[in-house]
């Protein structure tokens, strides 16, 4: 088993996810709770947003590392973890010019951790501080143009790397992690089937003869969570589908049909009036999310009388952006299912450790319909966060029509399955146009179409202009109230995939 110590990075869980992809069982431990364990084959120290020389910055006890060293357990520090290792063992860390994005790594010395890599490799950097003086007796293994000590090895065999091997932007990063797991002699016996069996048994043991009410939206996350829990508790499970009034065209009817075909006992609540009334006049995106979370909690509390447990399809990226993955992490935006107030029932979230593509793999194993498995992600707060500004019935009408056009054209062109997400956003801005020889002053739609592997990073899709023109033409011709279509060409980071 490998232990990943969370020092506050947005990518901590991504490290663990890469470890799992390489067949090793990993466990994330918050830095405050870290202590050496007998069953650990290796330890990875994550990155983080702080500086190691700040007061109260995340750290770990040097004696714990010495104990691991005495037992021959390897340690790898990444970014902040690299700097922390250097500082704890007598090196010096200072604020520097920084390095953000892709850089060229130059290997100074051959070492097992870089086995199979070339002398020059592309890596992804995201740091302001850097190690300016390595620990005594250590060996500097690599550098970049702006970072003199980009990797080192301590005399006890501990490693530090300034770059992020866990992200896709480091093309050979997986090989670096693979080499480290080989150094650890870690057992490679983890797979998704084993994860599913563990979770089913965990839910069964936790629930016993209790009853579970699971919230479903019709998306792959909540449906997979519901199916997994159904395997665990059988007739003790009921699903709750809430029509928020913020769903896509014809979605309530489609979701109900799917749920009934899959044999779920369904409780349907049309709360569209409640949600739209609560959102009236609200423009701030975090306020929208808070209101939606509170409204969901209110409905959950009301409908879950007689149930001991409630279930949700929360996945890990939701928790990361809501800063629920770590006490040292920064909040990007609140996901309603993560920050939802206490409903008074015990919460079960069997997918909270998985990424979207891992959920899809699990969904296929559990037998979810292919169309549902492959459908693009849709946010829990629905169209409310794809409308910049106040949510109104008229804006929802425009956005639903535009959304249907985008999905139809993406599917017809064959590009739907080639991208991660494709959707329109209704902006709060209006612009002058000419339609039917008459001046118009209408809303603008922004198209957001991205490619990604796990939603942690994303790049805008470079689609054929003929397809973009077709989508734009249909929107301005068929959606009353819109006279201009824009295309978002921003990657993540610095932007998020959703606008709000």
pLDDT for the residue numbered 355: 83
* 379 within domain boundaries: no
* Among 307, 314, 350, residue whose Cα is nearest residue 334: 314
Q: Catalytic annotation on 164?
A: yes
Span 12-37, average pLDDT: 92
pLDDT for the residue numbered 343: 62
Q: Judge if 164 and 15 occupy the same domain.
A: yes
Q: Judge if 98 and 127 occupy the same domain.
A: yes
pLDDT for the residue numbered 127: 86
* Confidence class for position 494, pLDDT limits 50, 70, 90: confident
* 137 within domain boundaries: yes
Asked whether the predicted pLDDT for residue 431 surpasses 60, the reply is yes
Q: Judge if 176 and 198 occupy the same domain.
A: no
Q: What is the CATH number of the domain that holds 428?
A: 3.30.300.10
* 406 within domain boundaries: yes
* 71 within domain boundaries: yes
Mean residue pLDDT across the chain: 91
* 160 within domain boundaries: yes
* Confidence class for position 438, pLDDT limits 50, 70, 90: confident
* Among 473, 447, 477, 462, residue whose Cα is nearest residue 415: 462
Number of CB atoms found within 10 A of residue 198's CB: 12
Asked whether the predicted pLDDT for residue 330 surpasses 60, the reply is no
Q: Looking at 121, 166, 238, 251, which residue is catalytic? A: 166
Write the pLDDT tens digit of every residue in 247-281.
999 999 999 999 999 899 999 999 999 999 999 99
Q: Judge if 167 and 198 occupy the same domain.
A: no
DSSP per position, 426-473: EEEEEEEEEETTEEEEEEEEEEEEEE-SSSSSBEE----HHHHHHHHH
Write the pLDDT tens digit of every residue in 146-201.
999 999 999 999 999 999 999 988 999 999 999 999 999 999 988 888 889 999 99
Asked whether the predicted pLDDT for residue 288 surpasses 90, the reply is yes
pLDDT for the residue numbered 354: 86
Write the pLDDT tens digit of every residue in 234-246.
999 999 999 999 9
Q: Looking at 3, 13, 79, 361, which residue is catalytic? A: 79
Number of CB atoms found within 10 A of residue 56's CB: 6
Q: Judge if 260 and 180 occupy the same domain.
A: no
pLDDT for the residue numbered 196: 92
Q: Which residues of 111-140 are buried (b: 16+ CB within 10 A; e: fewer)?
A: bebbeebeeebebbbbbebbbeebbeebee
Write the pLDDT tens digit of every residue in 192-203.
888 899 999 999
Span 107-132, average pLDDT: 94
pLDDT for the residue numbered 351: 93
* 384 within domain boundaries: no
Which of 313, 341, 374 is a domain's end point?
374
Q: Judge if 404 and 361 occupy the same domain.
A: no
Of 42-46, 307-311, 355-359, the poorest mean pLDDT is in 355-359
Q: Judge if 139 and 229 occupy the same domain.
A: no
Span 77-88, average pLDDT: 96
pLDDT for the residue numbered 217: 87
* Confidence class for position 324, pLDDT limits 50, 70, 90: very low
Span 411-422, average pLDDT: 96
Q: Judge if 340 and 291 occupy the same domain.
A: yes
Q: Judge if 339 and 369 occupy the same domain.
A: yes
* Confidence class for position 342, pLDDT limits 50, 70, 90: low
Residue 137: phi, psi to the nearest 5?
A: 80, -5
Asked whether the predicted pLDDT for residue 454 surpasses 80, the reply is no
pLDDT for the residue numbered 334: 44
What is the reported pTM?
0.71
The Cα–Cα gap between 340 and 324 comes to 12
Q: Judge if 40 and 100 occupy the same domain.
A: yes
Q: What is the CATH number of the domain that holds 113?
A: 3.40.50.880
Domain that residue 436 falls in: 394-487
pLDDT for the residue numbered 500: 85
Chain length of the chain: 500
* Confidence class for position 73, pLDDT limits 50, 70, 90: very high
Task: Give percent above pLDDT 70 in the chain.
Answer: 95
* Confidence class for position 341, pLDDT limits 50, 70, 90: low
Write the pLDDT tens digit of every residue in 97-115.
778 889 999 999 899 999 9
* 308 within domain boundaries: yes
Kindly give the interhelix angle for 393-413 and 465-478, rounded to the nearest 10 degrees. 150
Which of 160, 184, 208 is a domain's end point?
184
Q: Judge if 244 and 294 occupy the same domain.
A: yes
Asked whether the predicted pLDDT for residue 336 surpasses 50, the reply is no
Between residues 314 and 85, which one has the greater pLDDT? 85
The Cα–Cα gap between 14 and 448 comes to 24
Q: Judge if 366 and 479 occupy the same domain.
A: no
Q: Catalytic annotation on 79?
A: yes
Q: Looking at 164, 335, 336, 376, which residue is catalytic? A: 164
pLDDT for the residue numbered 281: 95
pLDDT for the residue numbered 99: 85
Write the pLDDT tens digit of every residue in 358-387.
899 999 999 998 888 989 989 889 999 999
Q: State the Rg of the chain over Cα.
A: 25
If one counts the domains in the chain, the total is: 3
Task: Give percent above pLDDT 90 in the chain.
Answer: 75
* 497 within domain boundaries: no
């Amino acid at each position: 088993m490998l232990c990943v110590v969370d020092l506050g990075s947005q990518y901590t869980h991504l490290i663990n996810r890469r470890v799992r992809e390489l067949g090793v069982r990993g466990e994330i431990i918050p830095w405050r709770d870290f202590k050496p364990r007998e069953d650990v084959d290796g330890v990875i120290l994550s990155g983080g947003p702080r500086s190691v020389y700040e007061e109260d910055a995340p750290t770990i006890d040097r004696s714990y590392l010495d104990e691991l060293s005495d037992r021959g357990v390897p340690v790898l520090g990444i970014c902040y973890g690299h700097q922390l290792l250097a500082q704890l063992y007598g090196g010096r860390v200072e604020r520097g010019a920084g390095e953000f994005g892709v850089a060229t790594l130059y290997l100074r010395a051959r070492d097992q951790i870089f086995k199979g890599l070339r002398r020059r490799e592309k890596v992804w950097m995201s740091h302001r501080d850097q190690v300016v003086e390595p620990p005594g007796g250590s060996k500097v293994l690599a550098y970049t143009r702006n970072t003199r000590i980009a990797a080192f090895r301590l005399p006890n065999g501990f490693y530090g790397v300034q770059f992020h091997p866990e992200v896709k932007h480091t093309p050979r990063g997986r090989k670096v992690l693979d080499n480290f797991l080989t150094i650890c002699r870690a057992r490679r016996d983890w797979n998704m089937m084993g994860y599913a069996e563990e979770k089913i048994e965990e839910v069964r043991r936790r629930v016993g003869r209790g009853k579970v009410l699971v919230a479903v939206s019709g998306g792959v996350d909540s449906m997979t969570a519901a199916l997994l829990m159904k395997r665990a508790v059988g007739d003790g499970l009921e699903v709750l589908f809430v029509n928020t009034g913020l769903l896509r065209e014809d979605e309530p009817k489609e979701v109900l049909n799917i749920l009934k075909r899959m044999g779920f006992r369904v409780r349907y609540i049309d709360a569209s009036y409640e949600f739209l009334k609560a959102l009236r006049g609200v423009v701030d995106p975090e306020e929208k999310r808070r209101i939606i979370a509170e409204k969901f909690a209110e409905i959950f509390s009301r409908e879950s009388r007689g149930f001991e447990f409630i279930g949700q399809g929360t996945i890990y990226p939701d928790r990361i952006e809501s800063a629920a993955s770590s006490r040292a992490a920064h909040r990007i935006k609140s996901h309603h299912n993560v920050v939802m107030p206490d409903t008074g029932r015990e919460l079960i979230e069997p997918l909270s450790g998985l990424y979207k593509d891992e959920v899809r793999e699990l969904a296929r194993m559990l037998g979810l319909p292919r169309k549902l498995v492959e459908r693009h992600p849709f946010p829990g707060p629905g169209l409310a966060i794809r409308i910049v500004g106040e949510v109104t019935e008229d804006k929802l009408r425009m956005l639903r029509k535009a959304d249907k056009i985008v999905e139809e054209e993406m599917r017809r062109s064959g590009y739907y399955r080639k991208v991660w997400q494709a959707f329109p956003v209704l902006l709060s801005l209006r612009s002058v146009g000419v339609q039917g020889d008459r001046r118009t002053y209408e809303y603008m739609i922004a198209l957001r179409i991205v490619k990604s592997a796990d939603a942690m990073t994303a790049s805008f899709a470079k689609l054929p202009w003929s397809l973009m023109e077709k989508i734009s033409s249909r929107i301005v011709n068929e959606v009353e109230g819109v006279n201009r279509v824009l295309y978002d060409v921003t990657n993540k980071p610095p932007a998020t995939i959703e606008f709000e």
